[in-house]
Structure 1
Amino acid sequence: MVRIRLRRTGKTKQPSYRVVVADARSPRDGRFIEIIGHYNPVRQPKVLEIKAERARYWLGVGAQPSDTVVRLLKQVHVLDSEGKLMPASTEPVEA
């Protein structure tokens, strides 16, 4: 099964994350298929950038997002409040 999940990067006690598409059997920081965004919760304001089109593609072909990624995808309006895929909009959305 393919998952959309976070991959930890950054220094000790200063985490930042890449949003990746990976096989569910791969380790957290191991092999991945594609990087579709990044998230830095330490910086103020928090930085969240996700390629919405690529996220919609992977969700459309059956990739399962982790619980944390579901929350992040809702923030960038890829998923609605019920966790369902929202239609693509023509205007870019700021996180």
Structure 2
Amino acid sequence: MSVKIRLSRGGAKKRPYYYVVVAHHTSPRDGRYIEQIGTFDPMLKKDDPNRIKLVEERVKHWLSVGAQPTDRVLRLLDATGLAKRTASVNPEKAKPKKKAQERAAAAAEKAAKAAEAAQGETA
């Protein structure tokens, strides 16, 4: 049985409010869950103490028995100091795509020609 610690959405339209729940991995996002272990209110400021509320002993229990937090929940747990999240780095994704590389090469070539022409005029 695979168990996840994830967010379940509540609140009104355009006013999200999330419950941090422990649920079976096949249950729907807002559906059946095993236990509610906290809340997350993204509408509050980041430094507001009521933004993230967690029952720490239950979070530690579920992590100890093998529950896997989702990426967003892992970020919340990292912010509260209950779990450590390693930042993922994908340098290939950060590189410009083919057309942008072509434009940059053309701009560099044009700048080199302009510098060469300016140097030729001064000499």
- Shorter-normalised TM range: 0.7 to 0.9
2:66 maps to 1:62: yes
More strand by share: 1
**CA-CA distance at 1:58 after TM superposition:** 0.2
2:13 maps to 1:9: no
1:11-90 maps to which residues of 2 (within 5 A)?
11-45=12-46, 46=48, 47-82=51-86
Structure 1: distance between partners of 2:16 and 2:86: 29
Q: List gaps (5 residues or longer) in structure 1.
A: 84-95
Query: Which of these two proteins has the greater Rg computed from alpha carbons?
Result: 2
Q: Which has the higher contact order (CA 8 A, sep 6+)?
A: 1
Q: What is the TM-score with the length of structure 2 in the denominator?
A: 0.64
- Residue type at the aligned position of 1:62: G
C-alpha RMSD of matched pairs (Å):
1.5
Aligned pairs, how many? 83
Q: List gaps (5 residues or longer) in structure 2.
A: 88-123
Structure 2: distance between partners of 1:18 and 1:43: 15
| 1:9-30 C-alpha deviation (Å, 9 max, x unpaired) | 0000000100000000000000
Q: What is the TM-score with the length of structure 1 in the denominator?
A: 0.82
Report the equivalent of 1:87: none
